Amino acid sequence: MISRFLITLAVFVGLWGALTALAPIPAYMLPTPQAVANALWTQRADLAANTLVTLTEILLGLGLGTLLGAGAALCIAAAPFLQRWLMPLLVISQAIPVFALAPLLVLWLGFGMASKVALAVLIIFFPVTANCLDGLRRTEPGWLDLAHTMNARHLRILFQLRLPAALPAFASGLRVATAIAPIGAVLGEWVGASSGLGYVMINANARIQTPLMFAALVILALLAIGLYMLVDRALRRILYWVPER
Amino acid sequence: MRLPSQAEQHLAPPGLRLENLSLTYAGVLIFEALNLTLEARQFSVLLGPSGVGKTSLLRIIAGLEAPASGQVTASDGAPLAGRIAYMAQQDLLLPWASARGNVMLGDKLRGKRPDRAKADDLLAQVGLRARARALPAQLSGGERQRVALARTLYEDRPVVLMDEPFSALDAITRARIQDLAARLLAGRTVFLITHDPLEACRLGHSLAVLAGSPAVLAPPITVPGHPPRPADDESLLHLQGELLRRLAGTIPA
């Protein structure tokens, strides 16, 4: 997995280098890999500090969004009448583009981390809830029959049968959430922030420091990939009974 | 005179009376005015081709489905709810729980403290004591059904309903688990559904054939001797042939 990733990366960087060397593209539009590597090295302290900010926002958003999403799904599963009230809200939260909400959230919650975490939560919430709910609804009917003949309690069925049975679906939701959580954080930093990788990008862009912008992008990409691989590995370990596909 | 306590009444296996049961499914009459008496402490077997409504009948007795009309009562007059264990066609083991965890499922779902010693004892009785910690995916089809049997026994209910639980197993494995089930379930009121005449002849004290559309119940046949009967018993082979003929006669060629 790691070696395949490194090979892909090397091929990509090679093509990029060849493109900058052979095609007449101005450096302010597409810098050479060397220039980006140089920016990464010379600005490493600054980049590291901003990376930490963005990473914190992503992790907080992911944690909070997952908790809220799974909680909402559980509530709906435990009390189905809630669905009629909550589902429209959930769909509205997805229908309104997060891009449109970003300035408002920054206005309300300030330039700090809160607005970025809120955006990440907004983006994550729906896929987690929808997947989790789907899993909770698709319990093997035979298990529910069996539970019925065993005089099972309603909440026990939820926590002993339906919840574990929904975990693979919940894991799919969490994987999607992990992949899109950085969008929320970076979007918030674009709209208004004083630190973070998105802030670095928007500043570098305004000053035509294209290599620095690319450096921030590279870090963001690595961050997203690393986080996804970590979550994926953890989920596989937790869901030990799910056959590998 | 002392009346039996509630607990004793709960444990003594009652007979079952199916009275005037009718069932329609999607507007189609599956069976009508079905009457059958299941003797207490005996294996009653219902034999019939697929799709005749055997499973629905069992689900009605288990309280999982409501009949269009008619009722199921216990011979002792007490309600049936809570006195029935159900063993389905699939083993229905939870893939994330160990064999032992699956056996103790009932207590976990009722919010009671699971009895590990009892579960291990039952696993030993079905020959799987050493596999107590194995996940269902690590067990063979026969082993999984044996765990399901142990889970059924853990419930310790006087009435046991079985819906073709051995139909997916190979012949040898099936014969072994039939012996095991006959031995371990002896003394309870058991109602077994099957489409296998040999299984019916080996396990039943009495056999009833359900066939046709809408399905009609033929008068039950009482089988001499005690289950599990050897598969090469001559009178059993004779009866099996007879049952096959009856079943075949009900299905258009």
pLDDT (tens digit per residue) in B37-76: 999 999 999 998 888 889 999 999 999 999 999 999 999 9
How far apart CA A135 and CA A140 sit, in angstroms, is 10
Residue with tokens 């209910």: B157
* A-chain residues near B154 (CB < 8 A): none
pLDDT (tens digit per residue) in A25-73: 888 889 999 999 999 999 999 999 999 999 999 999 999 999 999 999 9
- The residue ranges of every structural domain in chain A are 48-238
Q: Which helix (H) or strand (E) holds B122?
A: helix B116-125
Q: Do B137 and A243 touch (CB under 8 A)?
A: yes
For the cut 90, the answer to whether the pLDDT of residue B239 exceeds it is no
Helices A163-191 & A197-206, crossing angle to 10 degrees? 30
pLDDT tier, A245 (very low <50, low <70, confident <90, very high otherwise): low
For A143, the closest of B84, B92, B155 (CB atoms) is B92
B127 exposure class (CB count in 10 Å sphere: 0-12, 13-18, 19+) = middle
pLDDT (tens digit per residue) in B31-41: 888 999 999 99
Q: Looking at residues B92-115, what average pLDDT do you find?
A: 96
Question: B161 pairs with which residues across the strands?
Answer: B86, B191
Q: On the CB side of A68, how many CA atoms lie within 13 Å of its CA? A: 19
Residues in contact with B246: Cβ distance below 8 Å, sequence separation at least 6, in sequence order = B209, B211, B218
How far apart CA B49 and CA B70 sit, in angstroms, is 23
- What is the total residue count of chain B? 253
For A48-238, the fitting CATH number among 3.40.640.10, 3.40.1170.60, 1.10.3720.10, 3.50.50.60 is 1.10.3720.10
Q: Which helix (H) or strand (E) holds B164?
A: none
For B109, the closest of A150, A164, A241 (CB atoms) is A150
Does A2 or A110 have the greater pLDDT score? A110
Q: What tokens does B146 get?
A: 């044996």
Q: What tokens does A74 get?
A: 């559980």
Query: Reduced to 3 states, what is the DSSP secondary structure of residue A165?
Result: helix
Q: Do A149 and B108 touch (CB under 8 A)?
A: no
* B-chain residues near A157 (CB < 8 A): 109
What φ, ψ does residue A139 adopt, rounded to 5°? -70, 140
For B6-83+158-250, the fitting CATH number among 3.30.390.10, 3.20.20.140, 3.40.50.300, 3.10.350.10 is 3.40.50.300
- Residue-level pLDDT at A157: 94
How far apart CA B189 and CA B219 sit, in angstroms, is 19
DSSP B15: P
- Residue-level pLDDT at B252: 59
